[in-house]
Amino acid sequence: MLFLYILRRIAWSIPLLFAVSIIAFALISAPPGDYITSFAATLSESGDVVDQARLDAMRERYGLDQPFLVQYWHWISNAVQGDFGISFEWQQPVSTLIWERMSLSVTLALATLMFTWALALPIGIYSAVRKYSIGDYVVTAIGFLGLATPNFLFALVLMYIAVVYFGADVSGLFSDEYQDAPWSWAKLVDLAKHIWIPVIILGTSATASLVRIMRANLLDELHRPYVTTARAKGLSEWRLIMKYPVRIAINPFVSTIGWAFPQLISGAVITAVVLSLPTAGPLMLQALLAQDMYLAGAFILLLCCLSIIGMLVSDILLAVIDPRIRFR
Amino acid sequence: MPMNSKTETDPRALVQSPQDFASQWSLIWIAFRRHRLAMTGAIIVLMLYVVAAFSEFLAPFNPNATSAADVYHPPQMIRFIDRHDDGGWSVRPHVRSLTAERDKFTLKTTYIVNPDEKIYLQFFGKGDPYRLWGVIPMDRHFLTTADPSERFYMFGADRLGRDMLSRTIYGTRISMSIGLVGVTLSLALGLILGGVSGFYGGRVDMIIQRIVELVISLPTIPIWLGMSAALPQDWSPLTRYFAITVILSLVAWTELARVVRGRFLALRTEDFVTAARLDGCSRKRVIFRHMMPSMVSHIIASVTLAIPVMIIAETSLSFLGLGLTPPIISWGVLLKEAQNVRSIAQAPWLFIPGGAVFLAVLALNFLGDGLRDAADPYAQDTHQ
Amino acid sequence: MTAMAKTAATNSTVLELRNLITEFVTQRGTFRAVDDVSLELHAGKTLCVVGESGSGKSVMSRSILQIVDPPGRVTGGQALLHRHRTARGSDFDETIDLLQLDPKSKAIRNLRGRDIAMIFQEPMSSLSPVHRIGDQVGEAIRLHEAVSKKEARERTLELLRKVEIPNPGKAIDQFPFEFSGGMRQRAMIAMALACNPTVLIADEPTTALDVTIQAEILDLIRSIQDESDMAVMFITHDMGVVAEIADEIAVMRFGKVVETGDVYEIFEKPQHPYTQRLLNSVRELDHPSARRLEMRETRAIGEPILVSDGITKVFGSGKRWFGGEVKGFKAVNTANLELRKGENLGVVGESGSGKTTLGRCLQRVYEVTDGRVLYTNEAGQERDIAGLTEDQLAEPWRDIRTVFQDPFSSLNPRMTIGQIIGEPLVVEGKLTGQQIRDRVHELLELVGLPASAYMRYPHAFSGGQRQRVSIARAIAPNPRVIIADEATSALDVSIRTQVLDLLLDLQKRFDLSFILISHDIAVIRYFCDRIAVMYRGQIVETGDTETVCQKPQHAYTQSLLSAVPVADPRVRGQKQRVRYQEAT
């Protein structure tokens, strides 16, 4: 049953991936003109002579003169083999540029997700069980503040406080000496020392909304008849809440991975720009602004894939913990 | 536990609430009024929209007027008690004048209070001419300097010496309206698609649900960025404003469609809807007379909660330089000035538009939460 | 009953409530749900607590173990558990006042589920949907006894066998939603019996079940009680069930116990006027209504006006996206039925028998998969309404009207009573605004509601009053046929007869014909001239109500009738229970 469900779910994400890849490609080829146009603009700005024949040759070499579907087919068939084309701006294969940044993005998102969960779960349970206590009000208030602050603003404020009051620079993920160093244990430790600031910045609003969801779900469940049944059995209040209502209230919580993970990844784009993190965000933004289409396309495609994988994982997890879903 | 046997008086029954004649809206109002936070939120939101509506009048100066002498001029406090040199005093709003001094070595400008000089302010005084809503020519401002050649900076000035107060007030108009217009667009999309999906069901429903699923699985910000980057650079500010609004609502309609469809499906199975059909109502009458009233309050609540999401999205996009761009003034455009640590360390008042975003989002969230809780006054309170 | 003999000599009171008070403190004030209740439970005996909805019986039962949901709180009285008088009791006096214990203390938790166990009304929502049956039953054992996991599983299997769950080895690892309602309730009972409790509190355990299943569950509880000397507190609103199983009765009303006593005494000589009224309305229901019989003498039943000619309704069939067909669920299978003019036709069946679907097909709310619905209108023209579109149905829908089951969901909470009743007239568009208002006021008077109801909203009315509004709406366009789907099921017994009598009065005045769909044989017997019995989508038997009730021909009808509890303790055990096994 479970196996079949997972198979069905995976089968469904294939057309989804396909649709997403078309959207990604359409997005990057949508701007009027192409990289060659903006390249020409840069050339003429700097006073160089623009040779139309050379531009046409470049267009042909990059296949930019072909119809949309041909270009798309060319792009996607190479992409599934790991070849995302060449970055015009860097004059390097896209694949050499993106993987380290993508992996740092994923690391950051996963760390934030853990942080969010570790915080949101107990706080949510607490504020539902002790509804209308002082603690609940404090949590609710902080939650609202977290929700109302855009991530980048929060990042800016933190940076401001760090610079003005502590004289510290909180941007980046590595200290200067590890910036370009190869991976080592020391570099990993250095990463751990830096990553918590973006984690807090990214995690706060996600935590706030998860706490609200958990609280609402659990409040719904706390007065269900099966809780009374368990209480009549003689279960202690604490074990009872953890075993029954929390177990059920956690279902929608698990499904939040589906949206929280992609949101973290995409939300990180802006924060990363502010904090100048060496993750996918800043490079993608740069590529988008410069119309470096293959680089931007690779990022958009990969971020979309991550979102879909996030949804897939959360759906499967949900089916594992809730028998009602897999029997449907 | 249902306690509704009123046929015989239950001696333990609590005094019946005098709401037997109350319509849906008065019941919602009664429930909403009890929600203090939501009421506060409602008042703040109302005030923000008043600011947005009359920004030309409320702003002391033209927001684009630069003043080379006042680069990064710090905020000044408005004082109302004016002490005269002879020891007497009168009530007259004024600010203390600041003079710029440039350090010869570091070339850093510092502002020093000039104790002798005061800049007097005047309510409803004459100032920069403007056209209210682009139509009515006026030159009165709510509060401006008594001498039109002087300037004061309640929220400080930016790197071109533009008045941040005026800019924030003008930004309110764009930021608050982009939320409203964007939500209207996504509501239209959501209502149509969600309504069609919920009403017809079956295969139509399935196709629309798949589309919704696809849109939800797209990571919003990269898509927004990609779409905004695709906008031609030579569009006029107004066109760009609408394009950005459309982009924001293209992604945001799914949540509203989900709410509408869910309500539709839930209502369709209600006996009173079947009863309306059997009463001979046309399809149109069933939807608009019998189903709509039960949905409107829920939709209003969801819309209210969708506006802050829009505002944050616009702010974020503009902040990155991919949303609205100068000469349009929005909170996001203003915050772009605060993008690097050096400028905010020098002029922390550049954060003030961020405070406005925060206030607006918070107030709208409170309001929306209150509305959502009050939206269904007939929901049975399960634990009495 | 050996247990009775064993304990008769000594004092057998195991649980004693003295002046129990439970209150709900809300913003609007304090509501006393249980008001000064004193009761005794005896070993090996069943005490039935009877009362209508809102009488506080359920809260009272939860107060004993202090598991009332907040804001409810036990504020006074005693609940004495005499542990020394139970099977496992010691020689010295061990009496515990349960209400003195902290509701969260270990002391009271040790008693919950071990000395006093409970089963609840909703067998679906009372079991956790995401835990296996074995886990939930075994937990009750492992909480109170130091046994290994393996041993607990053995004991759980034993318990499942005891409550007659087929194939316990498989059932133990299944989830509640894989069980039928009856099986879930058996699992609940297994859970309650896990530690051989002294007292079993059963809070409406059969209300949500079909009569045939109810009879099986009652048999089960009785046989378990015969084996042990468990005291049972059985909470119910159904006097038939009371007559079937009670040794003693306590009648509750408005939070107070108005009468207690031996089952025979109370059924024969009820003292309190409320008990008398309750018993009267129950007894009245089980017989043909005098009003109806009287009416039939003056006005004969006429020709058929609404005929179901081989109606079949299949849900959810269709083609898949990529070929292949989905086999739907056949809710109604070639049903042949006719309603004659001026007659009351009852359709009886258990949940899932297709009776509601049949009703909706007859009115063409659902499209019919196969068969004809023949309606003869006032002018005497016969028409097949099965093939009509929604626009063409306007006229038949004015003639054939409905009274819905749920008085809460059938009235739009956002419209005033006047608007609701007037809606069909407004849509018809023949009358002016003033004429419609006059007509609605006339209708209000007809159904016995005050004129002041016109401007009010449905939330101002009780279930019975709302059902009157629903009836007024149904008769507004001067219909000829009314289909009432479980129109009285959501109401208390005493209100049920009032509503049925109202319908009979209206029949007399306006020459109506009724189809009453119900699971309740008593209601059908009171109201209907003829009866059709449905089982799994098929009409298995039709005939004159009294004939069918007294001499059922079909085996299913026999089993159904034999399962219906009779509100008379003296006939207890005389009736032969028939179980119906469908020939496969």
- Mean pLDDT rounded to a whole number for chain A: 79
> Which chain A residue lies closest to C139 (C-alpha atoms)?
A233
Q: Report yes or no: B293 and B227 within 8 Å, Cβ to Cβ.
A: no
In a domain, B314, yes or no: yes
When divided into structural domains, chain B yields a total of: 2
| CA-based nearest distance A57→chain C, Å | 47
Range of the domain at C345: 290-316+325-551
Q: Comparing C-alpha atoms, which of C302, C304, C250 is closest to residue C278?
A: C250
Residue ending a domain, choose from B158, B186, B206: B158
The reported pLDDT for the residue numbered C441 is 92
Q: Comparing C-alpha atoms, which of C239, C250, C163, C241 is closest to residue C209?
A: C241
Give me the residue from A16, A160, A266 closest to B219, CB to CB: A266
Measured between beta carbons, the chain A residues lying within 8 angstroms of C109 are 234-236
Same domain for B185 and B77, yes or no, is no
Cβ contact C414–B294 (<8 Å): yes
Query: b/e per residue, C473-509, with b = 16+ CB within 10 A?
Result: bbbbbebbbbbbbbbbebbbbbbbbbbbbbbbebbbe
Residue ending a domain, choose from B123, B158, B193: B158
Same domain for C380 and C411, yes or no, is yes
Same domain for C362 and C347, yes or no, is yes
Q: Comparing C-alpha atoms, which of A308, A207, A210 is closest to residue A250?
A: A210
In a domain, C297, yes or no: yes
Contacts of C442 (CB under 8 A, 6+ apart): none
User: Which chains pack against A, by 3+ Cβ pairs within 8 A?
Assistant: B, C
Contacts of C126 (CB under 8 A, 6+ apart): A225, A226, A228, A229, C119, C120, C188
Cα separations (Å) of C575 from A224, C162, C286, C520, C546? 38, 24, 16, 18, 18
> Which chain A residue lies closest to C135 (C-alpha atoms)?
A243
Q: Comparing C-alpha atoms, which of B113, B350, A181, B21 is closest to residue C415?
A: B21
For residue B382, pLDDT beyond 60:
no
Q: Report yes or no: B31 and B374 within 8 Å, Cβ to Cβ.
A: yes
Q: How far apart are CA B123 and CA B91, in angstroms?
A: 13
Q: How far apart are CA A258 and CA A245, in angstroms?
A: 22
| CA-based nearest distance C137→chain A, Å | 10
Cβ contact B223–A300 (<8 Å): yes
Cβ contact C125–A237 (<8 Å): no
Q: How far apart are CA B105 and CA C524, in angstroms?
A: 103
Burial of A326 (C-beta count, 10 Å sphere; 0-12/13-18/19+): middle
Q: How far apart are CA C28 and CA C449, in angstroms?
A: 28
Q: How many CB atoms lie within 10 A of CB C295?
A: 16
| CA-based nearest distance C113→chain A, Å | 4
**Residue B229 belongs to domain with CATH number:** 1.10.3720.10
Rounded to 10 deg, the angle between the A2-29 and B202-217 helix axes is 70
The reported pLDDT for the residue numbered A38 is 64
User: Which chains pack against C, by 3+ Cβ pairs within 8 A?
Assistant: A, B
> Which chain A residue lies closest to C173 (C-alpha atoms)?
A323
Same domain for C152 and C179, yes or no, is yes
In a domain, C578, yes or no: no
> Which chain C residue lies closest to B296 (C-alpha atoms)?
C414
Measured between beta carbons, the chain A residues lying within 8 angstroms of C140 are 233-234
Give me the residue from B226, B338, B366 closest to A156, CB to CB: B338
| CA-based nearest distance C548→chain B, Å | 32
Q: How far apart are CA A206 and CA A265, in angstroms?
A: 12
Instruction: Pick left, alpha or beta for residue C364 (phi over 0 → left; psi -120 to 50 → alpha; otherwise beta).
Output: left
For residue B5, pLDDT beyond 50:
no
Cβ contact B319–A265 (<8 Å): no
Same domain for C270 and C336, yes or no, is no
Residue ending a domain, choose from C196, C226, C247: C196
Cβ contact A153–B335 (<8 Å): yes
C330 DSSP assignment: E
Q: Report yes or no: B317 and B224 within 8 Å, Cβ to Cβ.
A: yes
Looking up tokens 């709302």 gives C466
Residue ending a domain, choose from C167, C196, C225: C196
The reported pLDDT for the residue numbered C436 is 92
pLDDT, tens digit, 9 for 90 and up, residues B143-201? 777 777 777 777 877 777 788 888 888 888 888 888 888 888 888 888 888 778 777 76
Same domain for B122 and B198, yes or no, is no
Measured between beta carbons, the chain B residues lying within 8 angstroms of C255 are 12
Looking up tokens 């440039």 gives B102
Cα separations (Å) of A52 from A46, A47, A208, A290, B194? 16, 15, 56, 20, 51
In a domain, C283, yes or no: no
Measured between beta carbons, the chain B residues lying within 8 angstroms of A16 are 213-214, 217
Does residue C363 belong to the interface with chain B, where contact is any CB pair within 8 Å?
yes
Does residue A31 belong to the interface with chain B, where contact is any CB pair within 8 Å?
yes
Cβ contact A304–B354 (<8 Å): no
pLDDT, tens digit, 9 for 90 and up, residues B242-259? 888 888 887 778 778 877
> Which chain A residue lies closest to C129 (C-alpha atoms)?
A324
The reported pLDDT for the residue numbered C56 is 87
Cβ contact C128–A235 (<8 Å): no
Measured between beta carbons, the chain A residues lying within 8 angstroms of B220 are 263, 266
The reported pLDDT for the residue numbered C87 is 59
Same domain for C106 and C229, yes or no, is yes
- CB interface of C with B, residues 10-29, below 8 Å: 24, 26, 28-29
Residues of B with CB under 8 A from a CB of A: 213-214, 216-223, 225-227, 229-230, 232, 308, 312, 315-316, 319-322, 335, 338-339, 341, 344-345, 348, 351, 354, 357-358, 361-362, 365-366, 382-383
In a domain, C573, yes or no: no
The reported pLDDT for the residue numbered B177 is 87
Residue from A28, A269, A291, A306 whose CB has the most chain B CBs within 10 Å, to mutate = A269
Same domain for B83 and B103, yes or no, is yes
Q: DSSP characters for C12-26?
A: -EEEEEEEEEEEEEE
In a domain, B93, yes or no: yes
> Which chain C residue lies closest to A323 (C-alpha atoms)?
C130
In a domain, B65, yes or no: no
Q: What is the mean pLDDT of residues B301-318?
A: 83
Same domain for C127 and C57, yes or no, is no
Query: b/e per residue, B41-52, with b = 16+ CB within 10 A?
Result: bbebbeebbebb
pTM, entire model: 0.79
pLDDT below 70 — which residues of chain C?
1-10, 85-92, 317-326, 582-584
Same domain for B172 and B48, yes or no, is yes
pLDDT, tens digit, 9 for 90 and up, residues B185-224? 888 888 888 778 777 767 787 888 888 877 877 777 777 7
Question: Dihedral of CA C550/C551/C553/C556: which sign?
Answer: positive
Q: Compute the count of residue pairs across chains A and B with CB atoms less than 8 Å apart.
A: 125
In a domain, B8, yes or no: no
Q: How far apart are CA C478 and CA C377, in angstroms?
A: 13
Range of the domain at B121: 71-158
Does residue C166 belong to the interface with chain B, where contact is any CB pair within 8 Å?
no
Q: Compute the count of residue pairs across chains A and C with CB atoms less than 8 Å apart.
A: 80
Q: Report yes or no: B308 and A208 within 8 Å, Cβ to Cβ.
A: no
**Residue C528 belongs to domain with CATH number:** 3.40.50.300
Question: Dihedral of CA C120/C124/C129/C131: which sign?
Answer: positive
In a domain, B63, yes or no: no
Same domain for B146 and B187, yes or no, is no
Q: DSSP characters for C198-223?
A: SEEEEESTTTTS-HHHHHHHHHHHHH
Same domain for B122 and B153, yes or no, is yes
The reported pLDDT for the residue numbered C471 is 92
Same domain for C248 and C295, yes or no, is no
Bridge partners, B123 (sequence order): B143
In a domain, B321, yes or no: yes
The reported pLDDT for the residue numbered C388 is 84
Cβ contact C414–B274 (<8 Å): no
Cβ contact A153–B341 (<8 Å): no
H helices, E strands: number in chain A: 14, 2
Contacts of B154 (CB under 8 A, 6+ apart): B60, B75, B76, B78, B95, B165
Listed range (B7-16, B19-28, C90-99, C313-322) with the worst mean pLDDT: B7-16
The reported pLDDT for the residue numbered C60 is 92
Residue ending a domain, choose from C140, C165, C196: C196
C380 DSSP assignment: S
Q: Report yes or no: C47 and C246 within 8 Å, Cβ to Cβ.
A: yes
When divided into structural domains, chain C yields a total of: 3
Q: How far apart are CA C161 and CA C164, in angstroms?
A: 5
Same domain for B44 and B82, yes or no, is no
Q: How far apart are CA B306 and CA B308, in angstroms?
A: 6
The reported pLDDT for the residue numbered C491 is 83
Same domain for C272 and C299, yes or no, is no
For residue A327, pLDDT beyond 80:
no
Please compute Rg for chain C using Cα positions. 26
Higher pLDDT, A85 or A42: A85
Cβ contact B345–A262 (<8 Å): no
In a domain, B80, yes or no: yes
Question: pLDDT above 70 covers what percent of chain B?
Answer: 91
Using DSSP, state whether C250 is helix, strand or coil.
strand
Same domain for C192 and C225, yes or no, is no
| CA-based nearest distance A323→chain B, Å | 23
Residue ending a domain, choose from B158, B190, B210: B158
> Which chain C residue lies closest to B271 (C-alpha atoms)?
C410
Same domain for C37 and C131, yes or no, is no
Same domain for B328 and B181, yes or no, is yes
pLDDT, tens digit, 9 for 90 and up, residues B52-62? 888 887 777 77
Same domain for C431 and C526, yes or no, is yes
C329-340/C304-315 β-pairing: antiparallel
In a domain, C111, yes or no: yes
Q: Report yes or no: C38 and C51 within 8 Å, Cβ to Cβ.
A: no
φ, ψ (nearest 5 deg) of residue A296: -60, -40
Cα separations (Å) of C103 from A226, A244, C58, C191? 18, 19, 18, 21
Cβ contact B272–C35 (<8 Å): no
Same domain for C337 and C310, yes or no, is yes
Measured between beta carbons, the chain A residues lying within 8 angstroms of C200 are none
Cα separations (Å) of C48 from A113, A161, C563? 55, 71, 19
Cβ contact A248–C128 (<8 Å): yes
The reported pLDDT for the residue numbered C257 is 92
| CA-based nearest distance A242→chain C, Å | 13
Same domain for B217 and B184, yes or no, is yes
Q: How far apart are CA A173 and CA A190, in angstroms?
A: 8
In a domain, B20, yes or no: no
Give me the residue from C127, C144, C178 closest to A229, CB to CB: C127
Q: How many CB atoms lie within 10 A of CB A103?
A: 12
- CB interface of A with B, residues 204-233, below 8 Å: 223
> Which chain B residue lies closest to C448 (C-alpha atoms)?
B7
Give the CA dihedral B263, B265, B268, B269, nearest 10 degrees.
-110
Q: How far apart are CA C335 and CA A239, in angstroms?
A: 53
Angle at C275 between CA C273 and CA C280, to 5 degrees: 95
| CA-based nearest distance B4→chain C, Å | 5
Give me the residue from C365, C398, C460 closest to B274, CB to CB: C365
C116-119/C199-203 β-pairing: parallel
Cβ contact B217–A156 (<8 Å): no
- CB interface of C with B, residues 234-263, below 8 Å: 254-255
Q: Report yes or no: C317 and C523 within 8 Å, Cβ to Cβ.
A: no
Cβ contact C427–B281 (<8 Å): yes
Q: Report yes or no: A179 and A240 within 8 Å, Cβ to Cβ.
A: no
